[in-house]
Amino acid sequence: MTTTADMRALAAEALKGRTDAGLNVFSARTWPTWDGQYPLLYLHTPAEDMESLGRHAPQFTVTATLKISARVRVPQQTDNAGAAQAQLALEQIQDQAKRALINNPALMSRLQQFPFIRSEFREDGEGGSELAELVMEVGMEFYQGPEDFYPLEDEAPPQPVDAVTEIASIQPIVPLDEISITEDLINVADATGTYPDAAFPDAVAPAPRSEGPDGRAEGGITIDFMQ
C-alpha cells in the first residue's frame, strides 16, 4: 500500500545530500534534532485528496501535497544585496530539489505523476541578517484500491516503507550512448556454412539448412547518441 507518509519519507531521504542544505532535511519526526544551522529543508504533507474512480470497487486516485520549506540566512548588506543573494541561493535549492525528486526511481515506482509543482519565495530581514524562505508544494499522485482497505482480522498491518534502505539501493542512471542492431535473417541463408562468431548462436539453424538464421550478419546499424 502506498501512503502519503511513505511518499514524504522517501522524498525526505531523496533530498538528503542532494541540495545545498546537505543533510539538514527534516520532517515532523526529526524536526527537534535541528541544530540551528542554515540552509535547511523542512517537509510536511498538509493535504491529501482522494478522488473515487467509480461507484463499484473502492478505487481512488490519491493526490498528496508535499510542502517543502527551504530556508537560508545571509548577512544583511547595503542596497538590499543580502536579499538578492538569498534569492539566488533559494533558486539554486529549488532546481536541486526538482532534480532530486522528479524521475527518482523510488518515487516513480509508486507515483502516477507529479500533477503540479508550485513555488513561492518569501523574505524577512531581522536583526543583522536576511532570512528567506522558498515554499514548494509538490503534488504526488498515486493509486489506492480495495486491497488497501478493510484488512482481515488476521492480517498484519502494512509496514511503513524503509526509505533509507530504498533510496540507498538506487543504482545511478547511466546515459544511453549507443544502439547496435544486427540482422541475421530468416529468408536469407547459407545452406551449409558454419560461422563460429554468430551474434545469436542459440538461434542458428544447424546445417544443412533451408532458412536462417545461419550465424552470419546480413545487415546492421549502429546509432551513436550525442551527449
d(CA 24, CA 29): 13
Q: Are 121 and 107 in contact (CB under 8 A)?
A: no
- Residue ranges per structural domain of the chain: 4-168, 177-227
- Give the separation between CA 26 and CA 4, rounded to whole angstroms: 16
Reduced to 3 states, what is the DSSP secondary structure of residue 18? coil
Cell numbers placing 128: 543583522
> How do strand 178-183 and strand 219-224 relate by DSSP bridges?
antiparallel
Confidence at residue 125, expressed as pLDDT on a 0 to 100 scale: 61
Task: Specify the CATH number of the domain 4-168.
Answer: 3.30.2000
Q: What is the pLDDT of residue 176?
A: 84
Q: Which amino acid is at 64?
A: A
Are 193 and 167 in contact, with CB atoms under 8 Å apart?
Answer: no
pLDDT at 92: 96
| pLDDT per residue of the chain (227 residues) written in tens, 0 to 9 | 899 999 999 999 999 999 999 999 998 777 767 788 999 999 999 999 999 999 988 999 999 999 999 999 888 777 777 788 889 999 999 999 999 999 899 999 999 999 999 999 987 766 557 789 999 999 999 999 998 888 766 667 777 888 888 888 887 778 888 999 999 898 988 898 888 888 888 989 888 888 989 988 888 999 998 76
DSSP annotation string for 150-180? S--TTSPPPPPP-HHHHHHTPPPPPP--EEE
